[in-house]
């Protein structure tokens, strides 16, 4: 959410940003609603002031006649105030609903573009493996080694479902252990978080109202299953004022995540690339409202993910996400894409985002500066690792001519010293 006064003073810039990010925004409607709301606030406050003044006058009345006349006047004012307050509540609700749909302005270094096709490559790291044999994809490898079962997954939970078995489940656990140990060594506090949350947490982090079609809603309990632990992590300090010396706070969490993948019918239906339920370790930082410091922390989050991929001995590339591929609240974003031999291309495995005060304003997470002024914090996040998607490059890039999978050295200690699967 943006500051309403900032929107009012920068309508043209917001309109351009909305167009570039492919969001609807009508500056004239905002201006009309903004001015109407201010007028109703003024009218309501004037009526309340008159009511208070009248109450004092009644108490000070010197005669019965004067008191009765004042009471009669106040009775006339009652319905007027009631009507004004009703109109204000309605306009406030409309205004709040509108604010929840307005996108943030991309950073100045975000490239213009319409979709992920226009994202700009920054760097490539690692060499794409050259195989001297006919490679197998992760589906075939998983089946032949008995570590992935798609058939039983589909029978029990429907399409885009799977089981990881034996060494497959152990490999997933090893990747998570490596990631959590790496983050702990860098000062990130691990939290165990709820994955069933209230609407306020989903709205606060920007996943509602625009992302409802991608989330699972438990109607009976009026709760949502999260698609990332970013939601509970970023919401942890909701409605709090944090001491500036304590910032930045750095959190991480492992959680099960759920996504409906609406609109993805017929796309990536086979394998582990696009599934409904997965495991993810997320990184979230809350910092003071300073763009320069936020940018440095963004680079730190990105480095954590890159260092992990290097430990997994996987080739990858980093891209700068263009305006048309940014989410509503994101002001800048980098995707990390890892090489997947079966796709003969890079596939997204990490997404690093800066929000400035967009989420904190919704969640009411604030801090006080050295002058005692209360300001909204900045928030950032990035994937540390998400499985099973990262298992695709891990299995495929490390396959051997005899159909086994070489386990990267960094994972071997988490798998009882084993060097191969199979």
The one catalytic residue among 274, 317, 343, 404:
274
**Lookup: tokens for 116:** 């992920």
Are 4 and 96 spatial neighbours (Cβ–Cβ below 8 Å)?
A: no
Tell me the C-alpha distance between 372 and 87, whole Å. 36
CATH number at 116-421: 3.30.930.10
Q: Catalytic site residue 259?
A: yes
Tell me the C-alpha distance between 289 and 241, whole Å. 13
Residue 417 in this model has a pLDDT that exceeds 80: yes
Q: Catalytic site residue 288?
A: no
Residue 277 in this model has a pLDDT that exceeds 80: yes
Share the mean pLDDT of the chain. Answer: 94
Q: Catalytic site residue 260?
A: no
| 68 band by pLDDT with thresholds 50, 70 and 90 | low
**Lookup: tokens for 389:** 């998607």
> What number is the average pLDDT over the span 7-14?
97
Are 229 and 254 spatial neighbours (Cβ–Cβ below 8 Å)?
A: yes
Supply the pLDDT for residue 58.
59
Supply the pLDDT for residue 82.
85
> What number is the average pLDDT over the span 271-288?
97
> What number is the average pLDDT over the span 391-410?
98
The one catalytic residue among 37, 203, 348, 404:
348
Residue 264 in this model has a pLDDT that exceeds 70: no
Condensed to tens digits (0 to 9), the pLDDT of residues 175-184 reads 999 999 999 9
Supply the pLDDT for residue 64.
73
Do domains 4-99 and 116-421 share one topology? The answer is: no
Percent of the chain with pLDDT over 90: 86
Residue 188 in this model has a pLDDT that exceeds 70: yes
Residue 369 in this model has a pLDDT that exceeds 90: no
The one catalytic residue among 351, 353, 354, 361:
351
186-192: long-range contacts at Cβ-Cβ below 8 A with a sequence spacing of 24 or more?
186/250, 186/304, 187/250, 188/250, 188/251, 188/252, 188/283, 189/249, 189/250, 189/251, 189/252, 190/251, 190/252, 190/253, 190/254, 191/232, 191/233, 191/236, 191/251, 191/252, 191/253, 192/253, 192/254
Supply the pLDDT for residue 25.
96
Supply the pLDDT for residue 265.
64
Residue 389 in this model has a pLDDT that exceeds 90: yes
> What number is the average pLDDT over the span 214-237?
97
The one catalytic residue among 107, 230, 235, 259:
259
Supply the pLDDT for residue 271.
95
Residue 300 in this model has a pLDDT that exceeds 80: yes
Q: Catalytic site residue 13?
A: no
Supply the pLDDT for residue 74.
67
| Strand arrangement, sheet containing 374-376 | 241-243, 366-368, 374-376
Domain boundaries, the chain: 4-99, 116-421
Supply the pLDDT for residue 243.
92
Tell me the C-alpha distance between 145 and 48, whole Å. 75
Supply the pLDDT for residue 69.
67
Q: Is the peptide bond before 388 cis (omega within 30 degrees of 0)?
A: yes
| 371 band by pLDDT with thresholds 50, 70 and 90 | confident
Are 227 and 210 spatial neighbours (Cβ–Cβ below 8 Å)?
A: no
| 228 band by pLDDT with thresholds 50, 70 and 90 | very high
Are 71 and 57 spatial neighbours (Cβ–Cβ below 8 Å)?
A: no
Q: Catalytic site residue 186?
A: no
Supply the pLDDT for residue 134.
97
Percent of the chain with pLDDT over 70: 94
> What number is the average pLDDT over the span 295-322?
98
CATH topology of domain 4-99: Helix Hairpins (1.10.287)
């Amino acid at each position: 959410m943006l500051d309403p006064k900032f929107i009012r003073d920068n309508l043209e810039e917001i309109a351009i940003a909305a167009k570039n990010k492919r969001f609807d925004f009508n500056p004239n409607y905002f201006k009309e609603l903004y001015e109407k709301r201010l007028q109703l606030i003024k009218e309501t406050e004037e009526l309340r002031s008159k009511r208070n003044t009248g109450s004092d006058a009644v108490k000070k009345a010197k005669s019965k006649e004067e008191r009765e006349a004042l009471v009669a006047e106040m009775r006339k004012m009652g319905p007027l105030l009631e009507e004004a307050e009703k109109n204000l509540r309605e306009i406030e609700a409309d205004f709040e609903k509108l604010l929840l749909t307005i996108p943030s302005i991309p950073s100045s270094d975000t490239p213009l573009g319409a979709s992920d096709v226009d994202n700009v490559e920054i760097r490539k790291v690692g060499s794409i493996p050259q195989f001297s044999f006919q490679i197998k994809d992760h589906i075939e490898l998983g089946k032949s080694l008995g570590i992935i079962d798609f058939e039983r997954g589909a029978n029990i939970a429907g399409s885009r479902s799977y089981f990881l078995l034996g060494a497959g489940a152990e490999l997933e656990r090893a990747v998570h252990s490596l990631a959590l140990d790496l983050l702990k060594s860098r000062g990130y506090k691990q939290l165990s978080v709820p994955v069933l949350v209230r609407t306020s947490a989903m709205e606060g982090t920007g996943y509602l109202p625009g992302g409802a079609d991608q989330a699972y809603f438990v109607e009976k309990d009026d709760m949502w299953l999260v698609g990332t632990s970013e939601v509970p992590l970023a919401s942890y300090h909701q409605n709090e004022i944090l001491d500036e010396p304590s910032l930045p706070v750095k959190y991480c969490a492992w959680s099960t995540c759920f996504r409906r993948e609406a609109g993805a019918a017929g796309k990536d239906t086979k394998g582990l690339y696009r599934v409904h339920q997965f495991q993810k370790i997320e990184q979230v930082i809350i910092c003071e409202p300073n763009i320069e410091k936020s940018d440095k922390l963004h680079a730190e989050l990105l480095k954590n993910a890159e260092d992990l991929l290097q430990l997994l001995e996987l080739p990858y590339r980093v891209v700068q996400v263009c305006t048309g591929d940014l989410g509503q609240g994101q002001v800048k974003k980098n995707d990390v894409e890892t090489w997947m031999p079966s796709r003969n291309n890079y596939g997204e495995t990490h997404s690093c985002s800066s929000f400035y005060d967009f989420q904190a304003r919704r969640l009411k997470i604030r801090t006080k500066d050295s002058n005692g002024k209360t300001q909204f914090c900045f928030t950032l996040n990035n994937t540390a690792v998400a499985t099973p998607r990262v298992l695709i490059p891990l299995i495929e890039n490390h396959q051997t001519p005899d159909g086994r999978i070489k386990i990267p050295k960094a994972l071997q200690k988490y798998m009882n010293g084993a060097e191969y699967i199979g």
